[in-house]
Amino acid sequence: MLENFIYISDMIGVIACAISGVLVATRLRMDPFGITVLAGVTGIGGGTLRDMMMGATPVFWIVDNTYIYVIITTAIISVYWLHRIHRFPAYLLPLLDAFGLAIFTIIGAQKALMLGFSGPVAIVMGCITGVVGGMIRDILSGQIPFVLQKEIYATASILGAALYVICNYFGFGQIVAMVIAMAGTLSLRVSAIYWHLSLPVFSDDREA
């Protein structure tokens, strides 16, 4: 049951992040190849880097090609849907990002602990899994990534990964721990979006 829960959650995260990649690509009027690339890197970019850093190779989507099929199918359906409605709500992209962030963060932390890594490493791997796909998408589309701005993005990811590690340490059931941690990440990120919460920004205003 746990494996099925993790796998289904992972697929939901891939779909949510792939759609966010399609939204950015269509907004920038990319061709079908560009749309697929942005959908792909957003959906599996973070998990790919995580697996490479932990030596879990071949990485997950090479072992299980379902991830590739899901990304391509999601891209096709999303483009068709966007063509029908002609525009998408402004809140859709950050919300999809938030769902993907919550799911990927906890799956990354869970995999690190499963492979025997320490709690701090699991938190870092959770954060990498959660934020790197969106970072690559934004860099390829010529934008400053959310995580490098004042957005409460990586902070929400770190919170969720830490909650999962703590719940795991105190013997919570795996599914319960994952749900609590996902809820923590999602709550903080959505709250930040809704109430426009942000981290302080530091700058050097001195004249040269």
Q: 173 by DSSP, 3-state: which?
A: coil
State residue 29's pLDDT score.
Answer: 92
What is the chain's Cα-based Rg? 17
The predicted model scores a pTM of 0.94
* 28, 143 contact by CB (below 8 A): no
What is the domain partition of the chain in residue ranges? 2-195
Q: Which band of pLDDT confidence, cut at 50, 70 and 90, is reported for residue 100? A: very high
β-pair partners for 128? none
For residues 187-203, give the mean pLDDT. 88
Concatenating the DSSP letter of every residue in 66-95 gives HHHHHHHHHHHHHHHHHHHHSS--TTHHHH
β-pair partners for 151? 198
Which of 92, 95, 114, 94 minimizes the C-alpha distance to 178?
114
* 150, 198 contact by CB (below 8 A): yes
Which of 21, 14, 139 minimizes the C-alpha distance to 82?
21
* 125, 108 contact by CB (below 8 A): yes
Tokens 């959505």 belong to which residue? 190
State residue 205's pLDDT score.
Answer: 63
- Residue 208 pLDDT > 70, yes or no? no
**Does residue 157 or residue 88 have the better pLDDT?**
157
User: Quick count: other Cβ atoms within 10 Å of Cβ 69?
Assistant: 10
- Under DSSP, the state recorded for 151 is B
Which of 95, 97, 44 minimizes the C-alpha distance to 69?
44
